Amino acid sequence: MREGRVIRAIGGFFDVFDDGHIRRCRARGVFKVKGTTVLVGDFVRYEPVGAQEGIIREVLPRRTELVRPPIANVDHVVVACSFVTPDLSFYMLDKTLLQVSVAGVEPTIVFTKADLVEQAESDAAVDTYRRVGYEAVAVSVRQGEGLDRLRWRLKGHVTVLAGPSGAGKSTLANALAPGISFKTGEVSEKIGRGRQTTRHVELVRLDDATWLADAPGFSQLHVYVASREVKFHFREFLPWAQRCTYRDCLHLDEDGCSVKSAVEEGRIPASRYMSYKQLYEEAREQELNAY
């Protein structure tokens, strides 16, 4: 048997990339009986049939798995958010970063449509996230700004794009992979966000070690996080949390909280702390509603 990577799934067939060639494969019937799924991004063992087809016999262990979009072995997420149309929401950005962290994937934050705002606004947004340890870049596809830095970040990774509808994910993907058509959708003036265009997940090969996912439009990656675990996914909290009076401090109403002191002193961005409190409350509400 041979090994390859699933790069496309359509109508019960799976296109498997192996050593520069693509074979259209079916999964063996026992997969359905055992509840085994085959996802785009999976490494599989398959049996060649003829010159262009094959049968998938085994799905190899996954390093990561996302539910929405349904894709395996992603190790990098580009979190795209626009400065305008739709307007920048730090809360939505932080919510996506939380989901990325829970999924165990490394993010790069991309602020799109940088040519439509003042340089000072662009610099401030980028600086806020670089200060707390994220890779962040402002991009203008129209002017070519920031694209080289982003291409460097993609090298050697399997990347999926996340972020609000209308943030320019498809436009960004087309700029990063010229000659490959990613569907784009305009922003609805009535609702202020983009219309979904892509209907299936597909991996697009940029070079031998670099892949970009063309995935259905989505606002957030979907993973579960317990309310008490939310604080661990705000990486800038960790050095200060060690100084809190209470070991299990949630950084909310407790006395002697070093994280709250760091926020008051400007050492932790206030917008990030506000996002943390809101995300904690959302996670807590989900837990209470589950019982």
Q: Residue 278 is part of a domain; what is its CATH number?
A: 1.10.40.50
Q: What are the tokens at 101?
A: 């962290």
Predicted local distance difference test score (pLDDT) of residue 11: 85
* Upstream peptide bond of 70 is cis (omega within 30 degrees of 0): no
Predicted local distance difference test score (pLDDT) of residue 265: 97
Q: Tell me the mean pLDDT in the region 57-78.
A: 91
Q: 156-190 pLDDT, tens per residue?
A: 999 999 888 888 888 998 998 886 666 544 433 33
Which parts are annotated binding residues?
112-115, 163-171, 244, 249, 251, 257
184 and 123 in a common domain: yes
pTM of the model: 0.88
The answer to the question of residue 220 being in a domain is no
Q: Residue 121 is part of a domain; what is its CATH number?
A: 3.40.50.300
Task: Compute the 3-state secondary structure of the chain and give helix, strand, coil in percent, each to the nearest 5.
Answer: 30, 25, 40
The answer to the question of residue 222 being in a domain is no
The answer to the question of residue 45 being in a domain is yes
186 and 75 in a common domain: yes
Which position has the higher pLDDT, 124 or 216?
Answer: 124
156 and 76 in a common domain: yes
Q: Tell me the mean pLDDT in the region 98-121.
A: 95
Percent of the chain with pLDDT over 90: 72
156 and 176 in a common domain: yes
Is residue 142 within 8 Å of residue 115, measured between CB atoms? yes
32 and 137 in a common domain: no
Round to whole Å and give the CA distance between 166 and 88. Answer: 11
Distance from chain centroid for Cα 127: 20
217-251 core/surface letters (b: 16 or more CB in 10 A; e: else): bbeebebebebeebbebbebbeebbeebeeeebbb
Cβ neighbours of residue 221 closer than 8 Å, sequence gap 6 or more: 66, 67, 68, 77, 96, 99, 100, 103, 162
Q: Which residue has the tokens 């569907």?
A: 183
Q: Residue 50 is part of a domain; what is its CATH number?
A: 2.40.50.140
187 and 116 in a common domain: yes
| Domain-terminating residue out of 173, 192, 214 | 214
Round to whole Å and give the CA distance between 124 and 134. Answer: 14
167 and 145 in a common domain: yes
Q: Tell me the mean pLDDT in the region 149-155.
A: 95
The yes-or-no verdict on residue 198 having pLDDT over 80 is no
Instruction: Note the maximum CA span of the chain.
Output: 70
The answer to the question of residue 149 being in a domain is yes
Q: Which domain holds residue 84?
A: 66-214
258 and 153 in a common domain: no
The answer to the question of residue 219 being in a domain is no
Predicted local distance difference test score (pLDDT) of residue 221: 64
Round to whole Å and give the CA distance between 282 and 286. Answer: 6
The answer to the question of residue 142 being in a domain is yes
The yes-or-no verdict on residue 194 having pLDDT over 50 is no
Predicted local distance difference test score (pLDDT) of residue 220: 54
Predicted local distance difference test score (pLDDT) of residue 229: 97
| Domain-terminating residue out of 183, 214, 245 | 214
> Nearest CA to 267 among 279, 275, 259?
259
The answer to the question of residue 94 being in a domain is yes
Predicted local distance difference test score (pLDDT) of residue 69: 80
Q: Tell me the mean pLDDT in the region 222-238.
A: 93
Which parts are annotated binding residues for Zn(2+)?
244, 249, 251, 257
177 and 109 in a common domain: yes
The yes-or-no verdict on residue 197 having pLDDT over 60 is no
Which parts are annotated binding residues for GTP?
112-115, 163-171
The answer to the question of residue 125 being in a domain is yes
Our count of domains for the chain comes to: 3
The yes-or-no verdict on residue 195 having pLDDT over 70 is no
